[in-house]
Structure 1
Amino acid sequence: MSDLLPARMRALGSTLATLRGQAELTTRQAAARIGTSIATLNRIERAKRSATVAEVSAMLAIYGVVGPERKRIMANIEKLTAPWFEDDHQLRELLRPLADFESQASSIVNFSPANVPGLIQTPAYARAIISDVLTEHVEERVADRLARQQVLSKRAAPRYLAILDEAVLRRPVGGSHVIAQQIRSMIERAKQPHVDIRVIPFKYSQYASPGYFSVLGFTDAPTLVYVEHRGSSGFVDSPMGKRKLQDQAARLAKIALDSADSVKFLAMVAADHERG
């Protein structure tokens, strides 16, 4: 399967499929109303073919999409093959498709050198992290983040691996109580058969950290890689760029403590915070 499926194109296809479902139309019904073939509509929804402005405009009209949502979707059509990176003020433009991709993934690997990944944050920890960046819409962002976490609780949940630097655990985000509660929550998470949390202790920290990134694997689509940094975040589309971070994830997993030792390490650090 070709790796050359830009994230923007995949996000558009997924969005159009969701909107068609919300309009309660089958592909046959939608294709007939749009004036295209079922095969063409399927290829657009699966990002096997780029949609034209006219096609997307017709779909949105038939699906009853108007106002800001229509404007947002139409504005992205001419950028389907462009690199998808946003600055911090536009980060939410990435979080909606990221959540959608996470819900479709069969496996998710998060590496974080600074903070607990969003998929396993407690409400209090998420609030402390988001408040450090934003002064408004904090609770809305917290709600969005907690909603994303449902992917790890669904029936066909993806295999999830979080690789954390010890610095993530030592940094008292929100205060000692909040970080201790966060670490205890991760210990509980690690009891789930599809969840694996690994720690890289300081004594093994002589490695080149690429910053926060996620590798999303799919059963019927190419891998996606998402990177998040202060200033600019987005999806890596180039096969070479994706392969580099996939290889890095494999190396980091080898450096980290195994699952059992990581849980023991988490318990030790939680106790340190509780005493403090």
Structure 2
Amino acid sequence: MTHINILDPGASPLDYYGFELRRHREAAGLTQKQLGEIVNYTGSLIGQIETARKLPTPTFSERVDAALGTGGLLTRLVDLVMRSQLPAWFQQVAELEARALEICTFQTHMVHGLLQTEAYARAVLGSLDQTDLDDRTAVRMARQRIFEKNEPPVFWAVISEAALHQEIGGPETMRAQLARLLSFEGNPRINIQVLPYSAGAHAGLQGSFNLYRFASDPDIVYTEGYGSGHPTANPDTVKDCSLRYDHLQAAALSLRDSAELIRRVMEERYGGQLDADGDPVA
């Protein structure tokens, strides 16, 4: 257990966050319990975060920033904290996501992490390992904050129809996940196309991949294996995958037809319909 008096702010982003939280709380003359009462969390949780034993969330950070008048310090730090908690081999990918102007992804069997609901992400991450599942899920969801930036990346997703039928987390989770995909209709920066079964042989048969495009840096292709990631800026690989992506988009359904297929699968396979606000109903 980390002792608060020997917490090293240079040890990790999480330690630095805890150090700054404690420093600002003490400067405000508040105990952990008093701060917890102000921001509607327990004093115990405040203590755990101050000693780097618990991950802060974006909501927690925003409330504490407001309560302590930190000028948004903790909210700015929380993204770095979350990124540092990703597996080492994936941290570079999260950095690419944060810097990219455009992200293009092809997924063969499940919804991309940047589009997942919390319940769907939890089911994916917990399929074989339940250890620290709450924190690992929170870390994955925090990646989606890139869409909250003043100028978020343009995101294109081609998803195999198989991903709509692969029942991850049960019918209720899938209903909500497909409703989440439908919620992006009309958003010009998040575009979802479905590659239907009827497409037959296609340019993505070798597997899922992502393309990251930047303002001045070279494009990067990312593929993934079991417990490892493989980013590359090799021009030949980038050229090949860019061509493959063009063909996948051409073979996929239009944005409108994709939404209709998602809606039909949601209603027919998972018994879901949308209410007037676009939320799933039983």
- SS for the counterpart of 2:188 is coil
How big is the shift at 1:120? 0.3
Residue 154 of structure 2 corresponds to residue 155 of structure 1: no
Residue 172 of structure 2 corresponds to residue 181 of structure 1: no
- The aligned amino acid for 1:256 is A
More relative contact order in 1 or in 2 (CA 8 Å, sep 6+)? Answer: 1
- SS for the counterpart of 1:132 is coil
- The aligned amino acid for 1:271 is E
1:180-208, Cα deviation, whole Å (9 max, x unpaired): 11000010023322110000111113225
Matches within 5 A, 1:222-241: 222-230=218-226, 232-241=228-237
Aligned to 1:255: 251
Residue 107 of structure 2 corresponds to residue 112 of structure 1: yes
User: Would you say the 8 A contact 2:219–2:233 is kept in 1?
Assistant: no
Aligned to 1:99: 94
How big is the shift at 1:215? 0.3
- SS for the counterpart of 2:210 is strand
How big is the shift at 1:134? 2.3
1:216-259, Cα deviation, whole Å (9 max, x unpaired): 00011111111123354221242212221121111101100011
- Partners of 2:192 and 2:198 lie apart in 1 by 18
Unaligned runs of 5+ in 2: 1-12, 17-85, 273-282
Matches within 5 A, 1:58-207: 92-207=87-202
- Partners of 2:96 and 2:258 lie apart in 1 by 28
User: TM-score if structure 1 supplies the norm length?
Assistant: 0.64
- Partners of 1:229 and 1:210 lie apart in 2 by 12
- Partners of 2:105 and 2:150 lie apart in 1 by 21
- SS for the counterpart of 2:183 is helix
Residue 247 of structure 2 corresponds to residue 217 of structure 1: no
- Partners of 1:144 and 1:119 lie apart in 2 by 11
Matches within 5 A, 1:44-59: none
Aligned to 1:57: none
User: Would you say the 8 A contact 1:102–1:108 is kept in 2?
Assistant: yes
- Partners of 2:163 and 2:192 lie apart in 1 by 12
Aligned to 1:80: none
User: Would you say the 8 A contact 1:177–1:273 is kept in 2?
Assistant: no
Distance 1:134 1:212, change over 3 A: farther
- Partners of 2:236 and 2:195 lie apart in 1 by 26
Query: More helix per residue: 1 or 2?
Result: 1
Matches within 5 A, 1:6-21: none
How big is the shift at 1:141? 1.7
- Partners of 1:134 and 1:243 lie apart in 2 by 37
How big is the shift at 1:92? 1.1
Distance 1:133 1:211, change over 3 A: farther
Distance 1:132 1:211, change over 3 A: same
Indicate the RMSD between aligned Cα atoms, in angstroms.
2.1
